Structure 1
Amino acid sequence: MQQTADHPDTLVRRVRHDLKLRDVTVARVEPLGPGFAAITFTGEALADFTSLSFDDHVKFMFADADGTQVRRDYTPRRFSREARELVIEFALHGDGEAAGWARRAVAGQRALVGGPRGSMIVPLALDWHLLAGDATALPAIARRLEELPAGSRAIVRVLAAPDDRRAFAGRADVDLRWFDTAEALVVDVQALALPAGRGFAWGGGEASLMARVRRALNEKGVPREATRVSAYWKQGVAEHHEHLE
């Protein structure tokens, strides 16, 4: 794969934000199939909330049954400063603390949101965008596809159970494939013939899967400055978020 010369409109920018904790209240809960729920939070503390990138993450905090604070990372799915509303999509699988909280969430329930600490702003004016991940990456992928302008080229590869698969909104030209196993997704990424021109490869999901995606991109010669691969979670670890080099 060959990248073209840098142009200001195709350079990734990183922006730092003041770190702030915000008290928020559940306004409504909307099911997204059996595996996810979109929870809208509201509060005047959101008046200066900022999320500039689909790759942003906030620290979501709540108290468990014993009063211990639980902290998890989530993607801001949508935000309206005018309405003072922040939408976060929660996976409902398994018996994790955050999934249990989301399953029980009702209007009026309170929580804390911290961050985001910063934003990695990936330009829209690129020749191609690769988005790869598991079900936990669906909110970020959905947000990015909604942001891309008409005529954009997006290659989307997702590992997800049939019940978690969804239709994506947006105007981009999307090459989408769903996978039942991690092995199948990795093999597909390894075999991808990435388009010519300047692009960006992004990945998010379970740590071991993302490590393999990271290696596949390295082997393809995708420049480090044109990639961002994150381990959103790790098998057997309660709280994990890591950017993979």
Structure 2
Amino acid sequence: MKSRLVDRLLLPVRVDSIEQQGPRLRKVTLTGPALAGLAWQPGQHVRLQVAPAPPAIDWLVGTLRTYSVWDHHDRTMELIVFDHGEGPGAGWARTARPGDELMLLKPQGDFTPRSGARYHLFAGDETAQVSFGPMLRALTDDAQVFARVEVDTPEERVDLSPKHLGGPRPGWNVDWTYRQGRSAASSRSLVEAVRGLSLPDEPGVAYLAGEARTIQLVRRHLVEDRGWSRRDVVTKPYWTPGRKGLD
């Protein structure tokens, strides 16, 4: 019974290649027949079985960690993994090698582009880039976009441009800010970067991702200072200091 249930929940994949994308970023390409025909929406994530766990904790699927999908096509899936911390996910990211076999849960999540928006606003930190990239690529060519992404140094930027255009679309206002060693938690500088945007008078849809307390600050600015409705602000807290289980 256990084996049959696991087979229904988890898909077998293999690490095909690993590329260093920056000081703390690694692109991990997964392959396998189980990925063919898999339903995926840009912005969604998968959960990888990165290690076994004590039976009393997770007897069925082992230790799972969540990663946004950078791209998926046919039998190939790309993840860009942010290397930080000392937990099982960080350990897997540092030690994964081509040929490794592992299991994953199918893509899930509702942090995806909303249709019919007047314009789209993106704000987040390093951890948000991997979901923002495919979401931006999925927008129509005439979409109006504002984005502010905060990273520690320029080397930790991820290219968010649509590949087939070779650069940003017309109507895009996308830029980065740099902390240069300051904490990403409760980042006032990201709030100020969003505050400095000249947005249209009517609200669009905002996608906020990254550190939980920073997301709260940006959402508060949009709702209290700019008069946006909370339903126009979509949030995805990935992490916050001292707290586990955010995904």
TM range (shorter): 0.7 to 0.9
Does 1:115 find its partner at 2:106?
A: yes
2:124–2:215 contact (8 Å) kept in structure 1: yes
| Larger relative contact order, structure 1 or 2 (CA cutoff 8 Å, min sep 6) | 1
Q: Which amino acid aligns with 1:221?
A: G
The CA deviation at 1:93 is 2.9
Shift of 1:125: 5.2
Which of residues 215, 240, 243 in structure 2 aligns to 1:234?
240
Which segment is superposed worse, 192-201 or 85-94? 192-201
Deviates more, 1:44-53 or 1:20-29: 44-53
Which range moved further: 212-221 or 186-195? 186-195
Partner of 1:33: 22
Q: Which amino acid aligns with 1:169?
A: S
Q: 1:70 aligns with which of 63, 73, 91?
A: 63
Which residue of structure 2 lines up, in the alignment, with residue 165 of structure 1?
Answer: 157
Question: Which stretches in structure 1 are left out of the alignment for 5+ residues?
Answer: 1-18
Q: CA–CA distance in 2 between the matches of 1:76 and 1:47?
A: 15
Identify the range of structure 1 (168-177 vs 42-51) with the bigger mean alpha-carbon deviation. 168-177
Q: 1:166 to 1:88 in 2, by over 3 A?
A: closer
What is the TM-score when the length of structure 2 is the normalising length? 0.78
Alpha-carbon separation, structure 1, partners of 2:130 and 2:112: 17
Distance 1:167 1:58 in 2: 21
Distance 1:122 1:141, change over 3 A: closer
In the superposition, the TM-score normalised over structure 1's length comes to 0.79
Q: Percent identity at matched positions?
A: 30
Shift of residue 149 of structure 1? 2.9
Question: Contact conserved, 1:64 with 1:97, CA < 8 A, in 2?
Answer: no
Deviations 1:56-82 (A, max 9, x none): 12212211699983222211111112x
Q: Does 1:213 align with 2:206?
A: no
Would the aligned equivalents of 2:215 and 2:237 in 1 still touch at CA under 8 Å? Answer: yes
C-alpha separation in 2, matches of 1:224 and 1:41: 37
Aligned positions, number: 220
Q: 1:124-147 deviations in whole A, cap 9, x for unaligned?
A: 554311010010001111112222
Partner of 2:177: 179
CA contact (8 A) 1:127 1:196 kept: no
Mind listing any 5+ residue stretches in structure 2 that lack a counterpart?
A: 1-7, 163-167, 180-186
CA RMSD of aligned residues (A): 2.5
Query: Measured at CA, do residues 120 and 33 of structure 1 come closer, stay the same or move farther in structure 2, by a change above 3 Å?
Result: closer
- The amino acid of 1:102's aligned partner reads A
